[in-house]
Amino acid sequence: MNEKVKEAIAKANMKFGEKVRSGDAEGLASLYTEDTVLLPPNSARVVGRKGTKEFWGSAFRDMGVRDASLKTEELVGSGDTYTEMGSYTLMLRPTEQEAVEDKGKYVVVWKQTDEGWKLHRDIWNSDHPAPK
C-alpha cells in the first residue's frame, strides 16, 4: 500500500467533512474530478462537477445534511487509480424537524489529477431501510 496515497485520501476525506459542515457545495464539488459520477441512493446518477455542486447544494438545503464522517476500511489500487471502501455517518437536520443520524457504507474510485487525488466515482447507501 502506498502510504502517501493513503494519507492524501485521508486528508481529502477530512476536507469532505469540513465542506459538509460548512454547507459549501462548491467547495465539496471541487473535491471531485471534472467528469465525476455520483450514484446516490434513491436517485438518478449525477454527472460532472456542476451536477455534483447542485446535488450537494440540494442535500444541504432540502435534506438538511449538516455533518459527514467517513471511515476508510479498505483501500486498494495502484498508479493513478485507487478504490476505497468504507463506512459513513451523516447528520441530517431537515427544517423544523429533529436531527437524524444516518449510517451506511460507500465505495469511491479515486483518481490522481493535476490538482491531487479527487473522487471520481462515488456510490453510497444507508444501513437503514429505505423511506416509505
- Domain boundaries along the sequence of the chain: 3-126
pLDDT of residue 131 exceeding 90, the answer is no
Q: Which residue has the cell 477530512?
A: 14
pLDDT of residue 124 exceeding 80, the answer is yes
Residue-wise pLDDT tens digits, 9-60: 999 999 999 999 999 999 999 999 999 999 999 899 999 999 999 999 999 9
Contact between 104 and 88 (Cβ < 8 Å): yes
pLDDT of residue 130 exceeding 90, the answer is no
Architecture of the domain whose range is 3-126? Roll (3.10)
Closest CA to 12 of 30, 26, 25: 30
Alpha-carbon distance of 77 to 112, in angstroms, equals 11
pTM comes to: 0.93
pLDDT of residue 1 exceeding 70, the answer is no
Alpha-carbon distance of 97 to 59, in angstroms, equals 15
- The kind and range of the H/E element at 123 are strand 116-126
